[in-house]
Amino acid sequence: MKPGVRLFPGDLVEVRTPREILQTLDAGGTLGQLPFMPEMVEFCGKRFRVSKRAVKVCSSGSRSTVRSFRTDDVVLLDGLRCSGAAHDGCQKACMIFWREAWLRRTGEDSPRPRVDPDSSGELRARLRTSTGPRTYFCQASELLKATENLTRRQRLGKCLDEIRAGNCTPLQMARRISIWLFWRIRRLFLGVYARGANRTTPMESLNLRPGEWVEIKPMESIIATLNEKAHNRGLFFSPDMRLECGRQRRVERRLEKIIVDGTGEMRQLRNTVYLEGSRCGCAHVAFGGCSRCEFTYWREIWLRRAQGPPPSPRP
């Protein structure tokens, strides 16, 4: 990719070869404090579509939920999430951030590069995966270093940048901001949504397995499991999750350990699952939403087993 050529949603790109990527990295295996992770090496030489420019991102470990990379050169590629294979099996499955320097725009008929296995090994040898016996080094752990807080004016400006980048239409952004305003005003007058009365929140184990069908319980049942901050054992039940109540979903996988944003700590989880198609409704809690498209985590106490898939609608 030529200097100054920016990538936009829909562009076909090719991940550069290991030797090319090595030339962009510092001694710590990062570019602009954003790590190139071992899980990314397998994509070298392969082609993907750009899904979004990473104009704004959320971080669960920062005071401000909306942040921005210090340099506007980061994109997301369709469906590429971190496997966690090099990070002790972390199950967070983060969308991978890609610096434009690691990619080149290409065409369908362009010849594909040959990836030398030896150069892949050299690249892996440069990349760190931990900073200590109990802390890991990855894009999530370094997110606060690679990004910065935004002022209120900057947040509004970034919303306009999302539209210019092609991440969303003006109508979609207006809807995101309206959702955020509604829940912000509601919280000011009525307090935290879904707050419960528990000082110590209960737990329940269903021992769910991937492929099983579950039904999300009604709101009144879920509120009975939450404290005054709408948490169950530290896990937030966000306003967007209420939209799933009464619906049936299939379990995608169990969730037992994730690396925490900004710290690199591996947090152990119990009785928690991903549900297929359940993604974070970031606009409910972060001004204008963000690009990370994280999974929503579900405590088993918020679910009950269903007999099978919901009936198909009649034609």
Q: Where are the domains of the chain?
A: 12-149
Which residue intervals of the chain are DSSP H helices?
18-22, 117-126, 143-146, 152-165, 170-190, 219-223
- The proportion of the chain whose per-residue pLDDT surpasses 90, expressed as a percent, equals 81
Mean pLDDT, rounded, for 276-300: 89
Mean pLDDT, rounded, for 145-156: 92
- Residue 63: its pLDDT value, please? 47
The burial of 181, by beta-carbon neighbours within 10 Å (0-12 exposed, 13-18 middle, 19 or more buried), is given as: exposed
pTM assigned to the model: 0.92
* Structure token pair of residue 96: 């991978």
- How many contiguous H segments (helices) and E segments (strands) does the chain have? 6, 21
Residue 1 has pLDDT above 80, yes or no: no
What's the 3-state SS for 251-308? EEEECCEEECCCCCEEEECCCEEEEEEEECCHHHCCCCCCCCCCEEEEEHHHEEECCC
The burial of 178, by beta-carbon neighbours within 10 Å (0-12 exposed, 13-18 middle, 19 or more buried), is given as: exposed
Cα separation, 266 vs 136, in Å, equals 7
- Residue 82: its pLDDT value, please? 97
pLDDT digits over 185-211, tens only? Answer: 999 999 999 999 999 999 999 999 999
Mean pLDDT, rounded, for 67-91: 95
Residue owning tokens 């980048």: 165
- Residue 291: its pLDDT value, please? 84
What average pLDDT does the structure give for the chain?
92
The burial of 38, by beta-carbon neighbours within 10 Å (0-12 exposed, 13-18 middle, 19 or more buried), is given as: buried
| Confidence label for 93 from pLDDT (cuts 50, 70 and 90) | very high
7-16, 244-253, 275-284: lowest mean pLDDT where? 275-284
Query: What proportions of the chain, in percent to the nearest 5, are helix, strand and coil?
Result: 25, 25, 50
Largest CA distance in the chain: 62
12 by DSSP, 3-state: which?
A: strand
| Confidence label for 62 from pLDDT (cuts 50, 70 and 90) | very low
Mean pLDDT, rounded, for 95-122: 93
Mean pLDDT, rounded, for 2-12: 80
| Confidence label for 2 from pLDDT (cuts 50, 70 and 90) | very low
pLDDT digits over 11-51, tens only? Answer: 999 999 999 999 999 999 999 999 999 999 999 999 999 99
